[in-house]
Amino acid sequence: MDKVTSKDGTQIAYDRIGQGPAVILVDGALCHRAAGPNPALAKELARGFTAYTYDRRGRGASGDTAPFAPEREIEDLAAMVEKAGGTPFLFGISSGAALAMAAVESGLPVSKVAVYEAPFVVDDTRPPIPDDYVRQIDEMVATGRRGQAVGYFMRKGVNLPGAIVFMMRFMPAWSGIKAVVHTLPYDVAFVAEYEHGKPLPAAPWASVKIPALVIDGGKSPAWIRNAMRAWAGVLPNAEHRTLDGQTHIVKATALAPVLEGFFV
């Protein structure tokens, strides 16, 4: 593990593996270098790339500096890009996909960007998030109701059935999830605007001129697949791919070859 210093002085922990062109992997909600899909993906990509995984601020071995603003996470990613050197490739998954694309829109110097299943809601194939969703998450986190915040996020944000969310409380990973739940507002800041069941506007990503790849899983719910097709449609230079047999918990062995083919 190494660390870089973000613009506000926050220490961001990262790992590097492999040899070749640099690719930076951005986690989604409640994930970090020790828990989530990106460590396995990094190992697959390490055959031909230098893959970077990092702990988003407030998670794992990274620090956190108050007050939070979405710009701070973009600055963290900018520090990772500077560490990687040149114009690396960028991949983001789930809410990390929205962060990655927001960073590119802000002018982050990367050569290509790929994203997997940002949790946007663009039609009526699932309920939109409640109008007070952001306030509810903020209040639960601020008052230390960690388990309640995770459950609310899983039900209203991820749209999981209540029975599944209830059973999650008895799984070994539950304590680890609760340990990073204070960072949920950071993820919500990048996605909540696009979770209200309305068509995606083109304006937020109009400046993303670099090649982009928008990916979803063939066994994922219709709402998120519809959203990814819509996202590819409003990005200026994007293509869309569906990975047969995959869900939101995508397998690294299925995703890596697609990214390898795109990052050339």
How far CA 87 is from CA of 57, 78, 130, 172, in Å, comes to: 22, 11, 39, 39
Model pTM above 0.85: yes
Beta strands in 71-230 (DSSP E): 89-93, 112-116, 212-217
* Partners of 17 in the β-ladder: 51
pLDDT at 69 (0 to 100): 95
pLDDT at 110 (0 to 100): 97
User: Residue 238's CB: how many other CB atoms inside 10 A?
Assistant: 20
Q: Are strands 11-17 and 2-5 parallel, antiparallel or unpaired?
A: antiparallel
Cis peptide preceding 67, ω within 30 of 0:
yes
In contact, 134 and 192? CB cutoff 8 Å: yes
HSE-CB of 213 using CA atoms within 13 angstroms: 24
pLDDT at 245 (0 to 100): 97
pLDDT at 162 (0 to 100): 87
pLDDT at 165 (0 to 100): 85
- Long-range CB pairs of 133-140 (<8 Å, 24+ gap) are 133/157, 133/188, 133/192, 133/195, 134/185, 134/188, 134/192, 137/184, 137/185, 137/188, 138/185
Region of 243 please: left (phi>0), alpha (psi -120 to 50) or beta. beta
Q: Quick one: tokens of 144?
A: 């230390």
How far CA 14 is from CA of 28, 83, 110, 163, in Å, comes to: 15, 10, 18, 36
pLDDT at 190 (0 to 100): 97
Q: Quick one: tokens of 59?
A: 């998670």
- Give the mean pLDDT per block of 10 residues along the chain (264 residues): 97 98 97 93 98 97 95 98 96 98 97 98 97 97 94 94 86 87 96 97 95 98 98 98 97 98 95
Q: What angle do CA 73, 71, 223 make, to 5 degrees?
A: 70
Residue with tokens 């719910």: 221
Residue with tokens 């950071």: 186
Beta strands in 111-158 (DSSP E): 112-116
Question: Letter for the amino acid at 5?
Answer: T
- Span between the terminal Cα atoms of the chain, in Å: 27
pLDDT at 172 (0 to 100): 82
pLDDT at 174 (0 to 100): 84
pLDDT at 238 (0 to 100): 98
pLDDT at 173 (0 to 100): 82
pLDDT at 171 (0 to 100): 84
In contact, 115 and 212? CB cutoff 8 Å: yes
pLDDT at 101 (0 to 100): 98
* Cα dihedral 234, 229, 121, 217 sign: negative
